[in-house]
Every structure is written in structure tokens, then in C-alpha cells.
Amino acid sequence: MPKNSYSINIISTNSLTTQNSISVDSSQEQANYDSFSQTPNNALINNGRPEPPLKNVGGLSRPAPNSLGSQLSFHDIKYTITVKNSFCKKAEKKEILHGLTGLFKPGMNAIMGPTGCGKTTLLNILAGRADVQKLDGCVLVDGMKQPSNFRCMAGFVAQDDIVMGTLTVRENFMFSANLRLPKSISKEEKIRKVDNAIYELGLTQCADSRVGTDLIRGVSGGERKRTNIGMELVISPKVLFLDEPTTGLDSSTAFAVMSLLNVSKWNYFDIFSRISKNGRTIIFSIHQPRYNIFKLFDGMLLLGAGRTIYHGPASETLQYFNSIGYECEEHENPSDFFLDVTNGDSTAVKALFKSSDKKEGPDTDHHVTVPGKSLIFTLAEEFSKSSLADKVYKEANAIHQMYITKRASGDKMKYPVVLYATSFVTQLYYVSLRAIKNIIRNPSALMLQITIMFFFGLFVGLLFFKLGTDIRGAIQNRTGAFFFIIMNQVFGNLSSIELFIKERRIFLHECSGGFYRVSAYFFAKYLCDLFPMRIIPLTCFCVIAYFMVGFQMDVAKFFIFYLSYCLTTTSASTIGFAVSSSTKTFQVAHLTTTFIFVFMQVFGGFLANVTTMPNWLSWMQYLSIVRYSLNALSINELKDLVLYQKNGSAISDAGEEYLASQGIRYETAWDLWQNEMAMAVISVGMLTIAYIQLLRSSKIR
């Protein structure tokens, strides 16, 4: 027997039972399970060559009936997207998945198929992460309607690694455990779970190394992938979804990762205590796994152009294809063979020629001459007619029928809804802690902001050093200083646009995974940006500039100056937040925010006198934070300012005269405070927009 000959090997001795939390009698349950499990005798497939049985397909036996995993069934799933190929063309509807039905049980369930066949789309649907507007059909979890927040209960490892690179592996695991495990679990228990995860995932060596970002070298690709998986395993979800977990890994690392997942069938984190040997449900999409990975699979769904080509026990796949006339060559990897079959090329097609005389084989000419979709269509039809499909569909339909019957009889059959594991305050605390760690570990942005403000304060101070009270330049120089200060503060806050764009993927992933509420993330990010990145640098600037320039030496006036400056900063930065939470790209956010700031500058009162503007245009000054800021600073400084002529005579109302000429009302305290209020209102308004946009984006998938 050649070492590398592949065949399906069947376990027949293990107790083939399943968990099924819907109330079916045990015989029915056993029957249901068996239809999805391996055939009881060693099968002779691979063109009839006998193979010794695998000791253990998947390395482990089937999970016990009281398994910790869930059973997911999906019924007539259709997913339709709207595609607009060009600006002039009308949008067209495109169906990606064409009425898929099936079920996944505790164990390792693979979704395979060529690129673009709809694996990720189906995975997202099963994980409750797909856009329900585009979805037709239903997904049942343990025979009950999938709750809308199912994504909070299940683990999901995305195709691209999404993990905070500035934190260490351990810190990332702790972040997940602290936010997603309930309060009832003690701190010590959480630490134990994290330690176990680190140990079991083989991350002990790099547990205290940073994961790494685009700029900072961190752990290796395989360790990064395992960190992503660990973030989900640490909460021991009943169902774990993984989108192409082996992509980008070398074959032995890929095997190591998949073997670890296979272990998790056995109630991953109880593996030491051996409390139980119950399995979890692991569903993943995968491209072309090597043979020893393929051997780990229990269930398999092979897709082609959104249709089912095969669905059933992984160990029966080759047998099935053999039965319809496709033969896996002796040294060929089954995964490559499946792709060849669905793509209609290479060895699979050669096999077709060989098997063309088979009675039940497909129409060889048809396959060879009509590649692509029609081949897929034929394969899908072939499967739908098979006895295997009959078994799977019967089982899935029985679950669906039971759900419909129970619902009709008034039983809501709702899956228990799990809300967030932690409170708003806890979430705010941990997200803030992470944000602060991020700033401390990547201090260049903060240091740059403080340094720029420090030097800019010095520059303004030197340029307008000790302005004095000589009437010839006092007012012009003061308004010039205000211009510098306001423009510096407004445009200096362009950096705020990166707040929600930079971490957008992490936010969407974590929000979908039930780490935190949008509000907790929003306030944590805002507060952790506001104080270190805005308030500290501006305080530095204010103190230097105010005293060097020599504005009026009055405590109240200094604090009003400081407040006006704070409000200018916050309103400018919140405009940046509102824009950045509404767009996905940095360039769009940058251009939009710059445009808004320039527009505000025009109506700010420096470049054009707003009193001389036509009415239809001058109202725009009320949208300008530059205008409010200038008004507040001017009233604060120029009111009650006594200036002196060359001959030494005092002029007490020169400042007021200037204010009047600019259309700035200054008589009452309200005239000053209404400008401060306006900036505060703009800040709150922009924060509200930013929050709503973030909330919206967390729901768009």
C-alpha cells in the first residue's frame, strides 16, 4: 500500500451519538445523528482499494449526547446582494447562495469549495453576522430560532487577524476574558483560563510579547493566528466559527492550529480537569487543507458557486464522489481533488474519462465541454438526488418541521438570549485601560502633539511678545495672535480623524463578538483621546502663549481664555470624530474635515468682515466655530482694555469700538457666554453624530 494513498476510513466502534437539545426521543436522536455520522463498516472507496481503517477519524470519537456544543441547522438559505458595476448601469441583484439546507453538529465541520463560492458568506450567516435584509431562509440553533445577538454568544475568528497589536498575547486574552466572561467568574478563574489557553495554544514562549502592528514587529504569523483563536477559546463558546484559519500558515503550523481546534471538541479548557468529554461545535471555511488536516474533519459541506456539491460526513466524501464517477488518484490530496472536481479540471477530469463507462457516472462530455457554472449545477443536482442528501435533508427538515410545529402551537422556541457579560462601567474601564496602554506604548503621537503645541506656544509668544497697550498696534496684533491661536487649534485637531478609522476593524469585530456596547467603546475612546491628546497639549500652549504675549493679567480673563481655547479644541476635534465615524477611508475623512475647517475659516471674521457680507451668505457665520472662538477671545481680551496713544493719553473704549466694527456684541456677560455655549452645543451635536454613525456602522455587515 503506498504511504500516501488516500481513502476514507471509517470509525465503527465509537459510540456515535450526538447532542440535540430539541426534544426528540432518543431513538430519533440516534437515527438523526447516524444519518450524519460515518457508516458502520469500513468502506472501500478510492476506486475499490481496501484501506486500513483510520484509528480515529478526527482523532476523537463523537461527542456525548450532553455535549457542550450546539447543533446548527440552516434551511433554504438564499443570500442576495445588489451589485452596481458602473456608475451609469442600474444596480443588479446577484444571488450568492442558492437555497442551502443542512446541519452542523458538535465536532469539526468544514466548509470547503473554490474561491468565491460563498464560504465566508455562509459562515457569516451561520454566525449571525450577515445582513438580514439580504438573507432568505432560516438558521436554527439547537432547533430554536437563532437569536439576533447570536454573534455575542458564538466565537468568531475572522480570516484577517484582528487583534490589538500593541498589547501582549496575555493582555489580549485577559481583555477578552474580562469583558466576555460573566461577573460570576472570579478574577483568579479568568487568569487560570487565560493561562490554560496560553499553554494549550503553545504560546507560553511569547505570552508576554506584543502581538505587533504594521510598525512594530511582534509575534510570528502562526502565533498571531493562535492568539486570534485563543481570544475566542478563552470564553469557551458553544459554537466557534473560523474563516480560513490556516490561510497564511505553513503546513505544519496549519496542522498544529487545526489539531488544537480538534482538541476543543473535548471541552477545551476542561481538558486538564477531565470534567467531561463533551464537544463543541467548530465550523470553519478552509481552502485546501493537507491530508492530515482533512482527517480531523467530522462534517463537511462542499460548495460550488453557492450550491451544495456535497454535505455529510467528511469521511464519506471520497466514497460519494467515487459513486458518481469521480476518482481521487492514488497520491492526490482529497482537498485538491474536491477543488478539481468543482473546477472541472486536472485529475478529476482525467478520472472522468476513466470512469465514463460507469453506469451511474455523470455525462463526461457535458462536464468536459461545459466548464464552470453548468458543471457545478450538474454536480449540485447530482448531490441533491443522492441518498446522502436525502438523509441530511430529512434530518434538517425534521428539525425545521419541529420548530414550525412548536411555534404554531404557541411555543416561541426562542434560544436563551445572552446579553453582554459585563456592565457598561466595566466595559468602559477595560476599553479605557487598553486605550491608555496603547497611548503609552505608542507615545510618538502624544509626544509630537505636546512638542508641537509647546513650540507653537513659544513661537506665538515670541512673535507677539509683550504686545503692550500702544494703540498703534495693540488691537491688530491681538487679533493676529487670535488668528494664529485659533487656526493652530482648529487645524491641529485634524489628527482626530484617525480615532475611529484606525481601529475600525477591531471595533467592528469586537462589537460583533459581544466584547462591549458601542457606547462604552465610544466614551472610552473619546475620553482617552480628549485628555492626553487635546487637553494636555493645549494647556501647555495656553500657559506659554498667554503670558508671553501679555494678554490682560487677570485671573478670570485667563481662565475664560483657557475655556474658550478648550471649547475650540473640543468642537474642532468632535467634527473630526463625526467625519471619521462616517467614513471608512482616511483620505475621504481628511479631505472632508479640511474642507469644513476652511469653510469655517472663511466665515470666521478674519478674512472677510461678516457685517458687510450679503444676508444670504452671512448667516453661515453661525456654523463657524472659528467665528465663535474669535468672538469669545476678542470680547474677553478687548473689553475693558485701556490703550494709550503716543503722547500717553489713555483711550478706554478702543477695544469696544473695534468689537462693534466687527459686528461682535460685547455689552453683557451673555454676549460672551453665548459664544462658549455655541461651541459646547456644536461639540455635543458632533459627538452625537459620531456616536450614531458608529452605532450604524456596527450594524452594517
Ligand X SMILES: Nc1ncnc2c1ncn2[C@@H]1O[C@H](COP(=O)(O)OP(=O)(O)OP(=O)(O)O)[C@@H](O)[C@H]1O
Cell 497639549 -> residue: 537
For residue 442, the minimal CB distance to ligand X (Å) is 31
Output the nine-digit C-alpha cell for 62: 463523537
Bridge partners (DSSP) of residue 260 are none
Nearest distance from residue 243's CB to ligand X, in Å?
7
How many Å apart are CA 592 and CA 138, to the nearest integer? 41
| Residue 83 or 598 with smaller CB distance to ligand X | 83
Q: 3-state SS of 410-462?
A: CCCCECCCCCCCCCHHHHHHHHHHHHHHHHHHCCHHHHHHHHHHHHHHHHHHH
> Is there a contact between 43 and 320 (Cβ–Cβ < 8 Å)?
no
Shortest distance, position 293 Cβ to ligand X, whole Å: 16
- In the complex with ligand X, the residue whose CB is nearer, 557 or 701, is 701
Of 287 and 358, the one with the shorter C-beta distance to ligand X is 287
Which one, 376 or 453, has the nearer CB to ligand X?
376
Query: Looking at residue 470, what DSSP letter applies?
Result: B
Instruction: Name the minimum Å distance from CB 93 to ligand X.
Output: 11
The residue among 121 and 172 lying less far from ligand X, judged by its C-beta, is 121
- According to DSSP, residue 51 is labeled -
In this structure, what C-alpha cell is assigned to residue 430? 477595560
CB of 94 to ligand X, least distance (A): 7
β pairing state of 299-304 and 281-286 = unpaired
Smallest distance, ligand X to C-beta of residue 84, A: 9
Kindly write down the DSSP assignment for every residue of 471-493, as one continuous string.
Answer: TTTHHHHHHHHHHHHHHHHHHHG
461 Cβ neighbours under 8 A, 6+ residues apart:
544, 545, 547, 548, 549
- We find the least distance from the C-beta atom of residue 189 to ligand X, in angstroms, to be 37
What whole-number distance in Å separates Cα of residue 384 and Cα of residue 310? 9
Measured in degrees and rounded to the nearest 5, phi and psi for residue 144 equal -115, 155
Measure the CA–CA gap between 351 and 299, rounded to whole angstroms: 25
- Between 269 and 284, CB nearer to ligand X: 284
What 8-state DSSP symbol labels residue 679?
A: H
In the complex, the smallest distance separating the C-beta of residue 700 from ligand X, rounded to whole angstroms, is 11
Characterize the bridge pairing of strands 72-83 and 135-141: antiparallel
* Closer by beta carbon to ligand X, 344 or else 361: 344
Kindly tell me which of 81 and 132 has the beta carbon lying closer to ligand X.
Answer: 81
Nearer to ligand X, 160 or 365 (CB): 160
**Sign of torsion over alpha carbons 655, 660, 666, 671:** negative
* 261 vs 241: CA distance, rounded Å: 11
Min dist. Cβ of residue 114 to ligand X (A): 7
Handedness of CA 25, 402, 306, 415 (dihedral sign): negative
Residues of this chain that interact with ligand X (CB under 6 A) are: 81, 83, 96, 113, 115-121, 285
CB 323 within 8 A of CB 312: no
CB of 115 to ligand X, least distance (A): 4
Coil, strand or helix at 120: helix
The answer to whether 544 and 457 have CB atoms below 8 angstroms apart is yes
**C-beta separation of 531 from 644 below 8 A:** no
Q: How far is the CB of 264 from ligand X (least distance, A)?
A: 23
Q: Which is nearer to ligand X, 81 or 448 (CB)?
A: 81
Between 72 and 117, name the residue whose CB sits nearer to ligand X.
Answer: 117
